[in-house]
Amino acid sequence: MKPAVCRFSISMDPELAEQLDTLTAAKGFANRSQAVAHMVRDELVDFYAHQGRHEVAGTVTLVFDHHHRDLQRRLTSIQHDFQQRIISVMHVHLDHHNCMEVLAVRGPAEEVRKLADRLTTVKGIKHGTLTLTTTGKEFSK
Amino acid sequence: MKPAVCRFSISMDPELAEQLDTLTAAKGFANRSQAVAHMVRDELVDFYAHQGRHEVAGTVTLVFDHHHRDLQRRLTSIQHDFQQRIISVMHVHLDHHNCMEVLAVRGPAEEVRKLADRLTTVKGIKHGTLTLTTTGKEFSK
Amino acid sequence: MKPAVCRFSISMDPELAEQLDTLTAAKGFANRSQAVAHMVRDELVDFYAHQGRHEVAGTVTLVFDHHHRDLQRRLTSIQHDFQQRIISVMHVHLDHHNCMEVLAVRGPAEEVRKLADRLTTVKGIKHGTLTLTTTGKEFSK
Amino acid sequence: MKPAVCRFSISMDPELAEQLDTLTAAKGFANRSQAVAHMVRDELVDFYAHQGRHEVAGTVTLVFDHHHRDLQRRLTSIQHDFQQRIISVMHVHLDHHNCMEVLAVRGPAEEVRKLADRLTTVKGIKHGTLTLTTTGKEFSK
C-alpha cells in the first residue's frame, strides 16, 4: 500500500522561494506544497492533451441564439454521433436570445477535439471553446 | 432597422486566400465568410476578456475526489458568496472517485476570475480551469 | 502568373462588422482587409506549428546569469549539435549579471521544439521560451 | 548575506510525485528541484506580464518580404520612436524574399506591448509576435 503522502525536499534560490510565497498568497493557496502541486498538475494536463490517445475529460462551451433556424437540431444530431463521448449537457439562458450550452465530455484527446470542431463550426454558433482537463485518474489528490 | 447581413469586400494576396480555403476545409466551416467571422469573434472574446469591467459569460470546470473530506462543503460555501455570478451547476461522475463540476457563470471579467481563483485553490481540487466566452450580446450572429 | 491581389466578398452580421472596425482601430490596422489577413495568418502559423514535419522559423529566447559556471559552454555545445537549425544568435546584456540570448532558428517544427527543450532545461537558465512564426514562404504578402 | 540555496520540503501525493518524475525526464531536467523551479518561474513571468508597470524583457519577431515598398523605412521610423525600449536588433535572411527581424526589448510591460502592436500592424508584415520574459532581476538563479 502506498503511503498517503510523499514528502521530499526541493532546493531553490532563496529569492525564488520568496517569490513563490508571493504567488502562493496572491492566488490564495494554503501553502507552497499546494501551489507547487497545482503547477505540476497544470503541466501534466497540458502534456497529456498533446497525446491524442490519452483519455481526457473536458467541456465544450457553445453560445448561440436559439432563434437561429435549424441550429439546435444540428447540434443534437452531431451530439448523437458522438454519444459515447458526451456525459451530460447543461443548457442555460443568457438572455431572451442567447443560450449557453456546456457539454461535459470524455474520451481520447483527439476524438474530443474532433467533436469540438464539429460543434463549433455549425452555422449560427457565436462562440465555441474546448477546455481540456483531467479524468482525475492521474491525480489521486 | 439594420439589414440582416453586411456584405463587404476584402483584398488579400491570392496565396493567402488559397490557404484560407485550406483552413476553412480543415476545420469544417461552410465557407470563407463563416471562417472569418469565427476568427473575428475569437479575437473579440480575447479582447474583452482583458477588460475587467466588461460582462462575460464562461465556465469554471473543477475535477476532484468527492471522498475528500470537507471539499464539497467548501465549494458550496464559496459558490454562495458568488451566488449572483453563478447561473447553473452541472455535476458529473467520472468514476467511483472522481467528479467534474462545471459552473456556468457570468459577470464582469474580473469578478468571474476572482470566483475561479477562489474555487480552484480549494484543497483537494485536482484541476480547475476558467473558460471565458461571450454573453452573446456582442454578436447578433 | 497570379494576379497581385485577390478580391472577394465576405458576408457578416452588421454588428460584427462594426466590432471588427473597433478592433481594427484599437490594434492600429489600416483597414479591415489588413486586420482579417493578420488573423488568417495567425491561425495558419498555429495550424502549421502542430504539424511536426512542417518547416517553421522562430526564436528561442534565453535569460541567464553569465556568471553561472559552465552555462555558456553547455549552451554553445548544444547549439553546435543543432548547428543546421540555427541561423544566427543575438546576445544582449540586461544588467551586470543577466544576459538575454536570442537564437533565430528554422527547421521542421518538431526539431525546433527539441532544440528549445534542450536549451531551456540547461541548469542556470532563468527563463526560456520558444516562439514559432512562418518562414514567409506560405505568405506572399 | 542570504544563503546560496534554500531547501524546503514539499508534500505531495505519491502518484503525483511519480508523474512529476515522468515530466522531469521527458523535458530533460536534471531533477525535481530544477523542474519545479522552472514551473515557478514560468508562472511568475506570466504573473508579471499582466502588471503593466512591471519591467519586462522580451523579443518582437517580425517576418516580411524586404521587397515590400517602404516597409523597412516604416519599421525603422517606429523603432526610433521607441528607441529607449530597444536594446538590439538581429536581422536574418530566410530566403531570397523573406527576412526575419528580431528586436530585443525591455521596459514596462504595457509599453513593450504598444511597441509590438505598432510594429506588427505595419502593412507588409507577414507575421509578428511578442514574447515576454524576465529581466532576470527577479530570479537570482
Would you give the end-to-end CA distance of chain D in angstroms?
A: 16
Chain A residues in contact with D140 (beta carbon < 8 A)? 13-16
Nearest Cα residue to A32 out of B71, D20, B120, B121: B121
pLDDT for the residue C114: 92
Interface test with A, best of B31, B33, B61 (most A CBs within 10 A): B61
CA–CA min distance C129, chain D (Å):
8
Residue C39 sits in the same domain as residue C100: no
The total of other beta-carbon atoms located within 10 Å of residue D77's CB is 10
Residue A141 lies in a domain: no
Residue A112 sits in the same domain as residue A76: yes
Judge whether residue D3 has pLDDT over 90.
Answer: no
Tally of domains in chain D: 2
Residue D80 CA to residue D108 CA, distance in Å, equals 17
Chain C residues in contact with D42 (beta carbon < 8 A)? 127
Nearest Cα residue to C50 out of B128, D37, A49: A49
Residue A115 lies in a domain: yes
Residue C9 lies in a domain: no
Q: What is the per-residue pLDDT across B9-30, written as a single tens digit (0 to 9) for each? A: 999 888 889 999 999 998 889 8
pLDDT for the residue D53: 87
In this structure, what C-alpha cell is assigned to residue D133? Answer: 520574459
Per-residue confidence band for A49, with pLDDT thresholds at 50, 70 and 90: confident
Residue A22 sits in the same domain as residue A64: no
Say which residue the cell 457553445 belongs to. Answer: A62
Compute φ and ψ for D53, nearest 5 degrees.
Answer: -90, -5
Judge whether residue A2 has pLDDT over 80.
Answer: no
Residue B86 CA to residue B81 CA, distance in Å, equals 10
Integer angstrom CA distances of residue B48 from B54, B116, C44: 6, 17, 23
CATH number, residue D76: 3.30.70.1150
Residue C45 sits in the same domain as residue C63: no
Residue C25 sits in the same domain as residue C77: no
pLDDT for the residue D47: 86
Say which residue the cell 543543432 belongs to. Answer: C82
State the average pLDDT for chain A.
89
* Contacts with C, B 110-139, CB within 8 Å: 138-139
Q: Within 13 A of B140's CA, how many CA atoms are on the CB side?
A: 13
Residue D24 sits in the same domain as residue D38: yes
Residue A48 CA to residue A40 CA, distance in Å, equals 12
How would you write the pLDDT of chain C (141 residues) with one tens digit per residue? 456 789 999 998 888 899 999 999 988 898 999 999 989 998 899 888 878 888 999 999 999 988 888 999 999 999 999 989 999 999 999 988 899 999 999 999 999 999 999 999 998 899 999 999 999 887 764
pLDDT for the residue A67: 85
CA–CA min distance B51, chain A (Å):
18
Say which residue the cell 482587409 belongs to. Answer: C33
Interface test with B, best of A100, A105, A123, A139 (most B CBs within 10 A): A100
Integer angstrom CA distances of residue B44 from B57, B112, B130, C101: 13, 18, 17, 34
Burial class (CB in 10 A: 0-12, 13-18, 19+), D11: middle
Residue C140 lies in a domain: no
Say which residue the cell 528561442 belongs to. Answer: C60
Residue A65 sits in the same domain as residue A129: yes
Q: What is the per-residue pLDDT across D63-85, written as a single tens digit (0 to 9) for each? A: 998 888 899 999 999 999 998 99
CA–CA min distance A88, chain B (Å):
7
Residue D119 lies in a domain: yes
pLDDT for the residue D46: 86
Q: Are D11 and A10 in contact (CB under 8 A)?
A: no
In this structure, what C-alpha cell is assigned to residue B68? Answer: 475528500
Residue B44 sits in the same domain as residue B59: no
Residue D59 sits in the same domain as residue D128: yes
Residue C5 lies in a domain: no
> Is D6–A13 a contact, with Cβ atoms under 8 angstroms apart?
yes
Residue D23 sits in the same domain as residue D65: no
Residue C8 lies in a domain: no
The total of other beta-carbon atoms located within 10 Å of residue A4's CB is 10
- List the single range of A85-94, B101-110, B131-140, C124-133 with lowest mean pLDDT: B131-140
In this structure, what C-alpha cell is assigned to residue C117? Answer: 527543450
Residue B42 CA to residue B139 CA, distance in Å, equals 11
pLDDT for the residue D40: 92
pLDDT for the residue C3: 62
* Contacts with A, B 83-112, CB within 8 Å: 87-90, 92, 94-95, 97-100, 102, 104, 106
Residue C80 sits in the same domain as residue C20: no
Q: Angle, to 10 degrees, between the axis of helix B14-27 and the axis of helix B32-49?
A: 80
Residue B70 sits in the same domain as residue B30: no
Nearest Cα residue to C54 out of B22, D105, D108: B22
* Contacts with C, D 46-65, CB within 8 Å: 57-59, 61, 63-65
Average pLDDT, integer, range D27-41: 91
For B29, the closest chain A residue by CA position comes to: A121
Q: Angle, to 10 degrees, between the axis of helix B14-27 and the axis of helix C32-49?
A: 60
Average pLDDT, integer, range B87-102: 92
Nearest to A6 among D3, D14, D37 (CB): D14
In this structure, what C-alpha cell is assigned to residue B105? Answer: 457563470
Residue B125 CA to residue A46 CA, distance in Å, equals 17
> Is C6–B20 a contact, with Cβ atoms under 8 angstroms apart?
no
Per-residue confidence band for B47, with pLDDT thresholds at 50, 70 and 90: confident
* Three-state DSSP string of chain B: CCCCCEEEEEEECHHHHHHHHHHHHHHCCCCHHHHHHHHHHHHHHHHHHCCCCCEEEEEEEEEEECCCCCHHHHHHHHHHHCHHHEEEEEEEECCCCEEEEEEEEEEEHHHHHHHHHHHHCCCCEEEEEEEEECCCCCCCC
CA–CA min distance A81, chain D (Å):
34
Residue C22's domain spans which residues?
Answer: 14-49
In C1-141, DSSP assigns E strands to 6-12, 55-65, 86-93, 98-108, 125-133
pLDDT for the residue C2: 53
Nearest to C33 among B3, B11, B19 (CB): B11
In this structure, what C-alpha cell is assigned to residue D82? Answer: 521607441
> Is D100–C104 a contact, with Cβ atoms under 8 angstroms apart?
yes
